Structure 1
Amino acid sequence: MLQTFDQSRQSPLLYGPATTMTPAPRPNTSIPKLNHHHIFIVTGPAGCGKSTVAKFLAEQFSLCYIEGDEYHPLANIEKMKAGDPLNDTDRWDWLIALREQALAALDQGAKGVVVTCSALKKKYRDVIRLAPLYDTDVVVHFIYLRASEATLLARVKARQGHYMKDSMVRSQINSLEEPDEKERDRLKDVHCIDVSGTMAEVQKLSMAVVNEVLAGDMAGNSS
């Protein structure tokens, strides 16, 4: 289901904003204990706002933040700088590295993790969906930021000094396999958000998604 902005649907936060991210905030005894560890993957093509949304969620819910672009091997970065799109082979090790980094953060005590990852194709998302095989307490969620090509191109053009070029954005759009109804309904781990509104509206929608997930976990429903 595509979520658009509606102020009347906002729920109160289960987790208050972190007072600091380093070191981690002191435990709040009023925060109920969750039944699972949650990995939130903020997805979508370049320019959809992944990093901005993910950083916001990590701060609001005191979760660990992982910037996916930082885990690309140098060969991938050089390839993208040259305007050459990444292929499946280029992405496998990167996807596995992100999955392992998220699991490591949880193992080190993080109560949840927010990761930015384009995850353009279903099989890429499936790589990360394997995380619970390594930790049965883990639940993975995808927050897909849906944007038009015009919006993506405009935002990427506004970036200063970033390696992503217009041709790469178009390549990502061509490669994109949006989570369809079958994937969403069967796996029940994808939340789609329309990012055509302001960033403040998108942040509120994404915050509502995380809040709903955590509330469902405490109620015994981790989906």
Structure 2
Amino acid sequence: MALTPQDALPPTPPSDTPAIMSNTRTPAYVAPPAATAHKHIWVITGPAGCGKTSVAEYLHQTFSFPYLEGDTFHTPANVEKMAAGHPLTDADRWDWLIQLRQQSLLALSQPLGPSGVIITCSALKRKYRDVLRIAHYHDPTIKVHFIFLHASEALLMDRVRARQNHYMKDYMVRSQFESLETPTEEERDVLSVDAGGTSGEVQRLALGVVEGVLRGDAAGS
């Protein structure tokens, strides 16, 4: 699907759009301050059950970056569709992806605003990731990074089965793997993290890749 000029216009968010999460707890780790050359959008991606929320909350508390929980921006129709066991189509996701991009830009544009923002979004297909990448063209000082959490389908299926009161059902993991376009080497903004370990292990791996990017940016690389 080709992008149109209308993509540059932020959609009107629903009245119940949640506020960006703020840091309310003392982080387990406090990152050293560093003057980075860019602002950064960190998109935590991967199929259901890979630990996107856990990693995002950990990075949010570590760096005090605003956190946009992608699922909360779905329309009620999308949530109802998923709860009924029907996968979303590209058309269902399009406005949602644009809104996530625009809300990220808004968070970074605030006076004395943060140097980064965190999003959770499965971004299973390259064209979905491309919609979020457009943020860089709106503001060249912004870099978009995808932290791709990957694990086996069997493991993620078990994790989703263990969830309580969540609209994502275990059989939808199969659908997500069928839709997944694993990032290629051409997508240099994708940082792969093995999500097969414990929650703490995955969090620390993700922290390491974020710190590496920030150190390189502060050094001017």
Pairwise same-fold verdict (TM > 0.5): yes
Whole-angstrom distance in 2 between the partners of 1:135 and 1:22: 29
Q: What is the letter of the counterpart of residue 35 of structure 2?
A: K
Match of 1:111 in 2: 115
Structure number with higher relative contact order (C-alpha < 8 Å, ≥ 6 residues apart): 1
2:54 aligned residue (46, 52, 55): 52
Q: Does 1:150 align with 2:146?
A: no
Q: What is the letter of the counterpart of residue 101 of structure 1?
A: Q
Q: Provide the secondary structure at the position in 2 that maps to 1:114.
A: strand
Whole-angstrom distance in 2 between the partners of 1:158 and 1:36: 39
Q: What is the letter of the counterpart of residue 131 of structure 2?
A: V
1:90 aligned residue (89, 92, 96): 92
Deviations 1:140-165 (A, max 9, x none): 00000001111111111111100011
Shift of 1:43: 0.1
TM-score by length of 2: 0.84
Q: Does 1:132 align with 2:108?
A: no
Whole-angstrom distance in 1 between the partners of 2:78 and 2:58: 27
Deviations 1:19-61 (A, max 9, x none): x8259x9xx9x72321110000000011100000011011111
Q: Provide the secondary structure at the position in 2 that maps to 1:182.
A: coil
Q: What is the letter of the counterpart of residue 189 of structure 1?
A: D
Aligned runs of 1:200-219 on 2, under 5 Å?
200-219=200-219
Whole-angstrom distance in 2 between the partners of 1:101 and 1:110: 13
Shift of 1:220: 1.1
Shift of 1:181: 2.4
Aligned runs of 1:170-185 on 2, under 5 Å?
170-183=174-187
Whole-angstrom distance in 1 between the partners of 2:164 and 2:109: 36
Deviations 1:107-142 (A, max 9, x none): 121221111000000000000000011122100000
Whole-angstrom distance in 2 between the partners of 1:141 and 1:31: 20
Q: Unaligned stretches of 5+ in structure 2?
A: 1-21
Shift of 1:168: 1.6
CA-atom RMSD in angstroms: 1.9
Whole-angstrom distance in 2 between the partners of 1:75 and 1:196: 32
Q: What is the letter of the counterpart of residue 150 of structure 1?
A: A
List, as ranges, runs of 4+ consecutive aligned residues in structure 1 with deviation greater than 2 Å. Answer: none
Q: Provide the secondary structure at the position in 2 that maps to 1:172.
A: helix
Q: What is the letter of the counterpart of residue 170 of structure 1?
A: R
Whole-angstrom distance in 1 between the partners of 2:41 and 2:169: 29
Q: Does 1:196 align with 2:191?
A: no
Aligned runs of 1:23-102 on 2, under 5 Å?
31-102=33-104
Q: Do the aligned residues in 1 keep the contact of 2:157 with 2:171 (CA within 8 Å)?
A: no
Q: Do the aligned residues in 1 keep the contact of 2:150 with 2:192 (CA within 8 Å)?
A: yes
Q: How many residues align?
A: 195
Whole-angstrom distance in 2 between the partners of 1:115 and 1:149: 23
Whole-angstrom distance in 2 between the partners of 1:116 and 1:79: 20
Shift of 1:198: 1.5
Aligned runs of 1:16-27 on 2, under 5 Å?
21-22=23-24
TM-score by length of 1: 0.83
Whole-angstrom distance in 2 between the partners of 1:142 and 1:32: 21
